[in-house]
Amino acid sequence: TDAVAFTGPHQAGIVTPAQDRLHFVAFDVVTKDRERLVRTLREWTAAAARMTAGLDAGEIGAVDGMPEAPPDDTGEAIGLPASALTLTVGFGPTLFRDATGKDRFGIAGKLPAALEPLPRFTGDTLDEAISGGDIAIQACANDPQVAVHAIRNLARIGMGTVSVRWSQLGFGRTSSTATGQATPRNLFGFKDGTRNLKAEQEDLLREHLWVPDGDGPDWMTGGSYLVTRKIRMLIETWDRSSLAEQEAIVGRHKGTGAPLGAAGEFDEPDLTAVGADGTDLIPATAHVRLAHPDTNNGARMLRRGYNFVDGSDGLGRLDAGLFFIAFQRDPRTGFVPVQRSLAASDEMNEYVRHVSSGLFACPPGVTGGGWWGDRLF
């Protein structure tokens, strides 16, 4: 079948070969009752295990229950296969303490230092209404209806405990997370994910992706930290820039994806190479130079983003961009230094706007009879 295992030492949906579609949701917890929240997390886990196996959200199903009652599945995935659905949960800093610093559910003592809110970056134009959240769930699948069905049913099950703060649909993965996957393209037309962390690079994953024992609170051992950024792309402006300009901004050739000065997509970018005129082949303001581990004290992350088009804005421009998703062992040494370096000098900034931001601690995978958050609560 095309089902991805739901249980295991790590959550699925991180090194799982990136699926084609995304529905990402962030919830606010609206109850003050810890037991009620735990009950919802348990119910979510049971429904997630079923849906990722290609089953209805509930045991009775969409059409076999009592005619007088709302069904325990909404029905739009009847007949559809599992479609490699993965559901990945993460907990935001606001779940631990509210704005006044109050411990909301008796878990504030377990707040990881790595979940420290992201700093404000130069150029940020964040909309709070589509940023943050207490609990996030990333649904990825190869069929958009399957991803939407999963989020819809989790929201239905969580009614009264959580309310949807924001959600985002994505089509077209912008990263490959396994060496067997072809590198896809983002909406600037460039291959994206070439030098990503990949599932097969186990030593690098241990060092840069998974939280090791002793790195903060125990409940996060085997987990990973998730950063999301909704990045609007100013498509029409980009489309009026020349090919040479676009390639200088990225630091790679548009056709092959090869670094400037190299021939093959997977050739290493040579940050020291200079052209005949004595200037850097990969310019000082190029994205791949500024994002490179050598520029950022070795920082690496696993990128897993999606293209989005939310129709057009009132000016006839595409409301489009990249829903950036990155997983890492610690955002303070992963995303933050890289984004600081990009925010300071990336030539690409002229063509992008960061409009939303999220930070979530994703616990390790569910094992045995466990449930989402069982080591935290």
Task: Tell me which residues touch ligand HEM (CB under 6 A).
Answer: 186, 188, 190-196, 229, 231, 233, 250, 252, 269, 287-288, 291-293, 321-322, 324, 335, 338-339, 342, 352
Alpha helices (runs of H) in the chain, residue ranges in sequence order: 34-52, 144-157, 202-208, 235-239, 243-250, 287-290, 335-345
In the complex with ligand HEM, the residue whose CB is nearer, 135 or 320, is 320
**Least distance CB 178 / ligand HEM (angstroms):** 14
**Least distance CB 360 / ligand HEM (angstroms):** 16
**Least distance CB 144 / ligand HEM (angstroms):** 21
Query: Are the C-beta atoms of residues 224 and 10 closer than 8 Å to each other?
Result: yes
**Least distance CB 68 / ligand HEM (angstroms):** 50
Helix (H, G, I), strand (E, B) or coil at 245: helix
Query: Are the C-beta atoms of residues 34 and 112 closer than 8 Å to each other?
Result: no
Amino acid (1-letter code) at residue 274: V
In the complex with ligand HEM, the residue whose CB is nearer, 95 or 290, is 290
How far apart CA 313 and CA 327 sit, in angstroms, is 30
**Least distance CB 349 / ligand HEM (angstroms):** 9
The end-to-end CA distance of the chain, in Å, is 34
In the complex with ligand HEM, the residue whose CB is nearer, 132 or 193, is 193
Amino acid (1-letter code) at residue 339: Q
In the complex with ligand HEM, the residue whose CB is nearer, 257 or 364, is 257
How far apart CA 290 and CA 341 sit, in angstroms, is 6
CA distances 345 to 272, 334, 335, Å, are 18, 18, 16
**Least distance CB 367 / ligand HEM (angstroms):** 31
In the complex with ligand HEM, the residue whose CB is nearer, 89 or 233, is 233
**Least distance CB 97 / ligand HEM (angstroms):** 26
- Vertex 325: Cα angle to 37 and 223 (nearest 5): 55
In the complex with ligand HEM, the residue whose CB is nearer, 190 or 372, is 190
In the complex with ligand HEM, the residue whose CB is nearer, 265 or 374, is 265
| DSSP-assigned letter for residue 159 | B
Handedness of CA 143, 146, 152, 154 (dihedral sign): negative
In the complex with ligand HEM, the residue whose CB is nearer, 132 or 363, is 132
**Least distance CB 187 / ligand HEM (angstroms):** 7
Query: Are the C-beta atoms of residues 114 and 223 closer than 8 Å to each other?
Result: no
How far apart CA 173 and CA 185 sit, in angstroms, is 8
How far apart CA 312 and CA 210 sit, in angstroms, is 38
Identify which of 204, 219, 186 has the alpha carbon closest to the alpha carbon of residue 328: 204
